[in-house]
Structure 1
Amino acid sequence: MTPLEQILKSQITTQGPMSVAEYMSTCLLHPEYGYYSTRDPFGAGGDFITAPEISQMFGELIGLTLAQVWMDQGQPAKIALAELGPGRGTLMADILRTAKAVPSFAQACEIHLIEASPKLREVQAATLSAYTPVWHDHVNQLPSDLPLYAIANEFFDALPIRQMIRDGEGWRERQIGLDNDALAFGLSISAPLAALDHRLSDTKDGDLVELCAQAPLIMRTLAERIQANGGAAVIFDYGDWRSLGDTLQAVYAHEKVPALLKPGQSDLTSHVDFEALITDLPCTHSRLTTQGVFLERLGITDRAQALAKSLGGTALEHHIAAHRRLTHPDEMGTIFKTLALFPKGAHPPAGYEV
C-alpha cells in the first residue's frame, strides 16, 4: 500500500466516495505524496517520454512556426512566450535555441512557465539556466497586456476528468469508494446533467463520456488574451474529436497498470476531447490535425535528412527511430493531434489549416 492510498481510504471512510477528478488531482498533485510533487516523470528514467525528449526536431519546428507568426503579426517588441506544463524544460530550450536564428524574435520573448510541481520547477530552472523564466500556478496569471505565444504539449491529458455513464435521460457518475477495504469503482445515483444535454442525441444507455471542467476555462483564457493582444497558441496531445468511452489510464515504470493501483506512484492521464477545447472561443482556431501530418507540412523529413548527414552508427539509428516515432501512423503520428488558436483575421500558424 502506498502512503497516499491510506490517505485516500481514510478520506473515503469519513467523507464518502470521491469523483474520478478528485482522485486524479490528489494522486498527481498531493503536496507530499503526489506523482508530480515527488519526482521527475519524464525521459528514460521516468514513466513516459514526450515528443521533445524524443528529438530536438519537434521543438525546432515549433520555434520556427512561432517566429513566423511573430513576423506575420508585425514583429511586436515584446511578447509573452509561455508553456503550459513544461516538463523538464526541454521543449522551451529547443524553441529558444531555434529562436536565435531570428535574433529580434528571440529578444522579444519574455518567458513564462505554467507549472504546479515544485520538483519540476527545479528541473526547468536547471534546463533554462541561461534564461530568466517566470513561473505561474495558473494561466490567468500570464501577462494580460502582451501578445501571447503559448505552447501546450501533453498538458491537457493530465487535467482531472469526471466520468459520466448514460442512464436513460440522466447520467450516473463513476466514483471511487471502498470494497472490502480496497479502492474500487462505483456509481452515483442517476440524475440529469445540463453540461451533457447535447450528448443525449449521440449516446445510448451505458455509454461513458468524460468531462474536464478545467480545460475549456484554460482555453478561453488563452483565446481571450490572443484575440485582444495578438499571438497564437499551439496545442499537442493524444485524444480525438468528442469524448466517448473510458480513456483513463495509469502508467507505472513504463507499463500500463490499473488506474487504482499505486496511487501517487503511477501517472494518470486521459484522452483529450478536442471538441470541448474549442467550443465558443472568442478567437479563431485551426482544424484538428494529426501530429504526423503537421510535422511533415513543416518539413521534418528534410530536417531529419540534414541532421542525418553528420551521424553514423547507433546515433543514426536512434535518429531514424525518433523521426519515425514522431510521425508514423503506428507511433505518435496519428493518435497525437494538434490545433492552433490565433486572432480573427490573422493567418493561421505554419502547418495549420482552417
Structure 2
Amino acid sequence: MNPLARKIAAVIADEGPIGLDRYWNIALFDREHGYYTSREPFGRAGDFITAPEVSQMFGELIGAWVVAAWRALGTPAPFLLVEIGPGRGTLMADMLRTIGRIAPDCMRAVAVRLVETSDRLAAVQAATLERFDLPIRRVRQVRELEATPAIIIANELFDAIAMRQFVFDGEAWRERCVTISGSGRFEFVLNRRANDLPEARVAGASPLAGAVLEWSPAREALAAELAERLALNGGAGLFIDYGHAATGFGDTLQAVHGHAFADPLDRPGECDITSHVDFAPIAAAFRDRGLAVSPVVTQGAFLLSLGLRERAEALGTPADAENRATIEAAARRLAGANKGEMGRLFKVLCASSESLSLPPFGLDAAD
C-alpha cells in the first residue's frame, strides 16, 4: 500500500466501510497525498489531455463566445471572468489572448477570477497568466467571488466532483461502499440500504437486479450555488464535460493513469478518478432558479457552430503540410465522433440570467 492507501485503510478499520464519495474525495484531494494536490495530471507527461491542451482553437473559440455573451448581457463593466478548475491556466490564457485581440472594450472591463483548491496548481496558473496586465485573483470557493456580474467557464469540472453509487438488489437500492478484503486490498461491498436516495431519482423506474444508479449530491449542490449567484448578480455560465443529457442506469466510474484506464481502488492518489456527468439534475438546478437554460448539446456541434472548421482553415492555410495536418487532426479530436475523439462524448450546457441568442442556445439537444 502507498501512504494514502494506508491512511484510507486506517479510516475503514476504525469506522467500517466508507461511501465511494468519501474514498473519492480522499484519493483526489487529501492535502498531503491527494491526486490533485500532489501530482501533475495534465498533458502528455501527465495522465490525460483536456481540450485546451489539444489545441489553442478550443480556448480561442470559447474566448470569442465570452465576448458575444458579454455583449448580449449588456456589456457590464466591470465583470468577472471566472474559470472553475483552471488546470494549468491554458484555457484562460487562450481566452484572454483572444478577447484582447477582438474586443479591447471587453478586455478593459474584465476581472479574472480563478477558483482553485490546489495550491500547487494555483502556482502553475499564476505563472501561465503573469504576462497579462489584468486584475487576476485566485479564490478557493465560489462563495468567495464578489457580487458582480460574471461569465463563468468550467471545462471538465463536474466529473472531478465525487458521486455515490447504488445497486438494486432485486428489492431495494443499496449503497456501494469501499472496504478492505481479507487479502488487504480495497474492494467494493453493498453495505447499507439507500434510505437517503431521493425518490425523484428512481420514480417510475423498473430496474433489474444489479442495475447501478449514480447520484452526486455535491455536483447538484455546486450547480445550485452557481444558479443562485447568476440569478442574483447576472451573467452566464458555460459548462463542458463528458457525460449524458438524461439520467439513466449504468456504472461509469473510471480511473486513469498514464493515459490508460486503471482500477479506481488501486493506488489512491496516483490515479485520476472520474465518472460521466448526468447533466439532467444540473440543468434542473439552473431552471429551478429561473435562469434561461440551453439544451444539452454535443461539444462537436457547439464548436462547429462557433467556427471551428473556419478557424482550423485559417491557421492551416499559411502552415506547411505537417503543421496543417496537425491542426486538422486537433480539430477532429475536438469535434469528431469516432473513438478517441471528444465531439460526441463531451456535452455543453449554458445557463444565463437572460436568454442568449448564441450557441448552445438554438442547437439541437444531444441524444
* 2:349 corresponding residue in structure 1: 339
- CA shift, 1:278, in A, is 1.4
* 2:106 corresponding residue in structure 1: 105
- CA shift, 1:37, in A, is 0.6
1:123-142 residue pairs with structure 2 within 5 A? 123-131=124-132, 132-142=135-145
Q: CA RMSD in A?
A: 1.5
**Paired residues of 2:172 and 2:193 also in contact (CA < 8 A):** yes
| In structure 2, distance between residues paired with 1:133 and 1:270 | 31
**Paired residues of 1:342 and 1:348 also in contact (CA < 8 A):** no
Q: What one-letter code is carried by the residue in structure 2 that aligns with 1:297?
A: S
* 1:69 corresponding residue in structure 2: 69
* 1:173 corresponding residue in structure 2: 175
| In structure 2, distance between residues paired with 1:169 and 1:96 | 54
| In structure 1, distance between residues paired with 2:60 and 2:154 | 15
Secondary structure at the counterpart of residue 279 of structure 1: helix
| In structure 2, distance between residues paired with 1:338 and 1:280 | 16
Deviations 1:296-325 (A, max 9, x none): 111110110010012114322221110010
Q: What one-letter code is carried by the residue in structure 2 that aligns with 1:341?
A: A
**Paired residues of 1:287 and 1:339 also in contact (CA < 8 A):** yes
- The match for 2:163 among 161, 164, 173 is 161
Q: Structure 1 residues 2, 194: closer, same or farther in 2, change over 3 A?
A: closer
| In structure 2, distance between residues paired with 1:19 and 1:340 | 31
- The match for 1:184 among 182, 187, 191 is 187
Point out 4+ residue stretches in structure 1 off by more than 3 angstroms: 167-170, 191-194, 348-351
1:86-97 residue pairs with structure 2 within 5 A? 86-97=86-97
- The match for 2:297 among 279, 289, 293 is 289
- CA shift, 1:348, in A, is 4.3
Deviations 1:236-256 (A, max 9, x none): 000002142111101111110
- CA shift, 1:2, in A, is 1.6
* 2:237 corresponding residue in structure 1: 233
Q: Structure 1 residues 196, 168: closer, same or farther in 2, change over 3 A?
A: farther
- The answer to whether 1:257 aligns with 2:262 is yes
| In structure 2, distance between residues paired with 1:77 and 1:244 | 45
Deviations 1:259-312 (A, max 9, x none): 111110000001001001111431111000000011111111011001001211
**Paired residues of 2:37 and 2:118 also in contact (CA < 8 A):** yes
Q: Structure 1 residues 265, 196: closer, same or farther in 2, change over 3 A?
A: farther
User: Under a length normalisation based on structure 1, what TM-score does the superposition of the two structures give?
Assistant: 0.95
Q: Structure 1 residues 178, 117: closer, same or farther in 2, change over 3 A?
A: same
- CA shift, 1:197, in A, is 4.1
**Paired residues of 1:9 and 1:178 also in contact (CA < 8 A):** yes
Point out where structure 1 has 5 or more consecutive residues left out of the alignment: none
Q: What one-letter code is carried by the residue in structure 1 that aligns with 2:216?
A: C
| In structure 2, distance between residues paired with 1:213 and 1:190 | 17
Q: Structure 1 residues 304, 106: closer, same or farther in 2, change over 3 A?
A: same
Secondary structure at the counterpart of residue 33 of structure 2: coil
User: Under a length normalisation based on structure 2, what TM-score does the superposition of the two structures give?
Assistant: 0.92
Secondary structure at the counterpart of residue 261 of structure 2: strand
| In structure 1, distance between residues paired with 2:186 and 2:79 | 47
* 1:352 corresponding residue in structure 2: 361
- The answer to whether 1:121 aligns with 2:129 is no
Fraction of identical pairs, as percent? 40
**Paired residues of 1:40 and 1:119 also in contact (CA < 8 A):** no
| In structure 1, distance between residues paired with 2:344 and 2:28 | 27
Secondary structure at the counterpart of residue 168 of structure 2: strand
Secondary structure at the counterpart of residue 246 of structure 1: coil
| In structure 2, distance between residues paired with 1:113 and 1:169 | 46
> Which range moved further: 182-191 or 79-88?
182-191
* 2:221 corresponding residue in structure 1: 217
| In structure 1, distance between residues paired with 2:203 and 2:168 | 8
| In structure 2, distance between residues paired with 1:7 and 1:197 | 36
**Paired residues of 1:68 and 1:350 also in contact (CA < 8 A):** no
Deviations 1:30-82 (A, max 9, x none): 11111011122111111000000001111111111111111122211100110
- The answer to whether 1:45 aligns with 2:45 is yes
Q: Structure 1 residues 252, 353: closer, same or farther in 2, change over 3 A?
A: same
| In structure 2, distance between residues paired with 1:192 and 1:77 | 48
Secondary structure at the counterpart of residue 266 of structure 2: coil
| In structure 2, distance between residues paired with 1:191 and 1:119 | 37
Q: What one-letter code is carried by the residue in structure 2 that aligns with 1:262?
A: R
* 2:7 corresponding residue in structure 1: 7
| In structure 1, distance between residues paired with 2:201 and 2:219 | 18
Q: What one-letter code is carried by the residue in structure 2 that aligns with 1:190?
A: R
| In structure 2, distance between residues paired with 1:352 and 1:329 | 21
| In structure 1, distance between residues paired with 2:192 and 2:219 | 26
| In structure 2, distance between residues paired with 1:267 and 1:200 | 32
